[in-house]
Chains A and B, each alone.
Chain A
Amino acid sequence: MIKGGIPNVKRVLCLVLTVLMALSMVSIPALADGGVSLRVLISSGSTEQVLREVAKDLEAEGIKLEIEAYDWNTYEGKQQLAATSKGGDYDVIFLPGNAVSTFANAGAIIDCSDVVAQVFPDQSDIYDSVKKFCMVDGKWYVSPYSAESMVYFYRTDLISKDELPKTIDEMHDLGVAKTKDDVYGLAIPGGPGEAACSFGSYFLWSYGGTYFNEKWEPELNTPEAVAGFEAFAKIEQDCAPKGVTTWQNEETVAAFQSGSLAAMICWPGYYAMLIDPAQSKVADKVGIATVPAGPAGARPRFGAWGLGITANCKDVEAAKKVLVAYTNEENMSKRLLPVVTTASKKINSSEGAESVNPAITASSGTLDLADERPAIPELNLYIPAVGAAVNAIIAGQPAQDTLNALNEEVRQIMEDGGYYD
C-alpha cells in the first residue's frame, strides 16, 4: 500500500468509510426474536416497581421494556430535555400533569385518546382535575393512572385525631405546641426552587391568591399572596428545624422517618416509605389527614401522572399496549392502588380501598379544590423565580418587597414569552 513514501489516500478514506458504515449497521437496535424493545423514562419509586411487574407481563407479548428510572432531579432534567427533542430516545414517558401541555404543544408526545377510551370506557370516572391537566384541546396526551394532592402526615403518638388542625392557623399553633424535646412540631419542604414554589402554592391558593389573572399578568404581590406566603414562612420559622430553608421533599421525609418531626406536609406517595419499618423509626406511628384550610379553603397542590407516547416512538402500537397494560382497571386496582391514589374515582372508593391504601381518603379529599400551577412553556422559568422568592421569605426577607420584585420578574418572563403583544 505504501509505495513511494505516502499512503493511497483514496484507499484509506474508503476503508474508514466502510468501517463507519459497518459500525452504524451494528448499532441499529433489533431484537433477535422479532419482538420490540421500548425505552421508558420514569421517576423512581413505588410506581417504578409496578412498571417492572408490568414489564414481565409484556415480555410474553414480545414487548421488552428498557426501564430508565431516576431520582426526581435527574428524571426532571431528562424529561425536560426529551420535551425539546420530540421525546428524545424514549418511546414511552411517565409525565406529571403539569408537563403534559408543554410536551403536547412541543409535539413531543402524540394523541392517545384511543388508549384512554379503551381503559376508561366511562370517562366521568376520571377526576376533573386530571382531565384539566392531561388533556390538551380536548385530546388525551397521556393515559392517566394517579391523582393525588398534598396531605398532612402526623405522628399518632404525639398528635391525637381530636387535635388535628382544621385551619392553617391551628396547624401553626399545634406545630408550636409540639416543638419540644428534640422534636419539631411541623416541617414543610422550603428549599429554593421547586420545593418552596410547590408547597408555597398551597398557601397562596388557600389564602385566595393566584399566579396570574385572565390577562396573564402575575398576581404574586397581592394582599392574599403576601398573607399566604407569610403564613408559610411563619410555620417554618416557628415550628421547623433551621435547615428547612434548604430542604426538598427527600430531606423532609427523612426527618419524619427519623422521628424528629411531629408532623409534615408532603405528597401521599411517600406514605409507603414512612410505614416501612426498614426505613422508618416511626413506621407504626404514622397518621395521615387532609391539609388544613386557609381563608379560601384547603387548596393544596394537585399532582396527576400518566404515560405518554413520544413522537419519536419506534413502535406506536407496542407503546399503546404498554399504556393499556399499566393503566387498565385491573392493574390500577391490584398493583397501583396500594401505592398511589388512582385517577379512577371508582377504584379509589371501592370496598377495601382504604385498607389497601390508607392515604386515599386524605389524598382524594381535597382533589375538588386542589390546583396546579399554570402549565405554560414558561413554567420552568417562573417556578425557580417563585421558589427563590418564597425561600427568601422563609429565610426572613420582608414578604411584600420580595413579592413586588418577584411580580416584576415574572411579568418580564411573560413579556419575553409574548403574552402582552
Chain B
Amino acid sequence: VKSRKPASKLYRSERYAPYVFLAPTALLFLMIFLFPILFVVCSSFVNWNLLKPTAGISFVGFRNFENLLTSPKTWMAIQNTFVFSLVSVPLSMIFGMLLALAVDKLNRIRNSVEAALLIPMMVAPISIYLSFRFMFDPTYGIVNKLLSLIGLTGPGWFSSTDTAMMTVIIVELWRVIPFVYIVMYAALKTLPNDVFEAVRVDGANGVQTFWWITMPMLKPTLLVTAIIRLMDAIRAFDNIYVLTRGGPANATKTIQYLCYELAFGGFSIGKGSALAIIIVLIILITGMGLIRMMNRANTELV
C-alpha cells in the first residue's frame, strides 16, 4: 500500500489554491461594490445625522423616501434633471453625428479639424466649467462684451432663472459633442463600402442614403452612445457645482446635486442614501428602456 500522505497534502493545496487566488478579487468586489450598495440600502431606512452622534441612528422605515417624494424640492430637481437630459442628450447626439458626417467628407484639412474637435476632451472638465463661468458672466464676461459690440444686450446667462439651464446645457454640449463625434466617426469608418456603392448605382441621393442606409447601420452605436450620454446627464453634478451651485432660485438644481447637499452638505446620511436609491432607479428604468431598444435594433440588423 502506497503512503497517501504527501499526495493528500498536494491535493489539499491544489484544492484550495483557486480560492486563495480568487480571494483578493472577491474581497475587492465585496468591499467596493456589494458592501457599499448594501450600506446605502440599509442607511436609506434610518434617520442618521453624522453631526449629531448623540442622537444615534434610528430606524424610520420608508419615511426618508416619503419625505423626499412629497417634497417640491425633489420634484423640481427631478424636473431639472429631465430637462437637462432630454435637451442635452439629443442635441449632443445630433451635433456629434453631423460633425462626424461632415469630417468624413473632408479631405485636406481633416487632420487639423479632428485635432481641434478633440480639444474639449483633453481639457479637465472643471477647467472648462470655470472658463465658461467667467466667459458668461453677464457684467464682466467676454460673451456679453462681444454682444455689446454689435449692439446687443446679452442675457443674464447663469444668473437669470430664464437662461441658467440653457447656459448650463450650452457648456455641456461644448464638452460632450466631441465624445459623440469620435464614437460616430469610428462607427462610420466601419460601415461596409459595397452597400454605399450599391445604393449609389441605384441612384439614391445623399439624404436617402443617410436615412435608409447609414442611419439603420449606425443605430446600435447610436443607442449605446445615447445610453452612456443619458446616464452621464442624469448623474450631472460637477458642472452644476462649479457653474451655478443649483441656482438661481433652484433653476439648475439637479437630483444629483440635491443628493450631494443632503449627504455631504448636511450629513443627513439617511435622506442622502434614499435619494441615491431613487437616482439609481431612475437610471435603471431609463437605461433598461434604451438597452431593450438597442437589442431590438441589433436583432433587426442581423
Q: Contact residues of A with B, CB < 8 Å? A: 4, 6, 8-9, 13, 77, 80, 83-84, 102, 105-107, 184, 191-193, 241-246, 255, 258, 260, 377-381, 384, 388, 391-392, 394-397, 405, 409, 412, 416-418
Contacts and interface: CB of A to CB of B under 8 A. Distances in A.
18 contacts: A13-B20, A84-B51, A105-B53, A184-B139, A192-B244, A193-B245, A242-B160, A243-B137, A245-B247, A260-B140, A380-B267, A384-B266, A395-B161, A395-B248, A395-B251, A396-B249, A409-B71, A417-B52
B158 interface: yes
> Which of B16, B245, B261, B262 counts the most A-chain CB atoms under 10 A from its CB?
B245
B138 interface: yes
Contacts of B159: 242-246, 395
A9 B16 CA distance: 9
Give 3 nearest A-B pairs by CB, closest first.
A192-B247, A392-B249, A381-B266
Contact of B49 (A255, A378, A392, A395): A378
Nearest to B54: A105
Contacts of B79: none
Interface in B121-142: 137-140
Given A9-B20, A417-B52, A4 B139 contact: no
Contact of B161 (A9, A84, A396): A396
B50 interface: yes
Contact of A83 (B51, B73, B247): B51
B253 interface: yes
Given A105-B52, A241-B138, A77 B247 contact: no
Interface residues of B, number: 44
A409 B139 CA distance: 34
B246 interface: yes
Contacts of A107: 53
Contacts of A412: 67, 71
A246 B244 contact: yes
B266 to A, nearest CB: 4
> Which of B67, B247, B266 counts the most A-chain CB atoms under 10 A from its CB?
B247
Contacts of A418: 55
A84 B265 CA distance: 12
A246 B49 contact: no
B14 interface: yes
B59 interface: no
A108 to B, nearest CB: 9
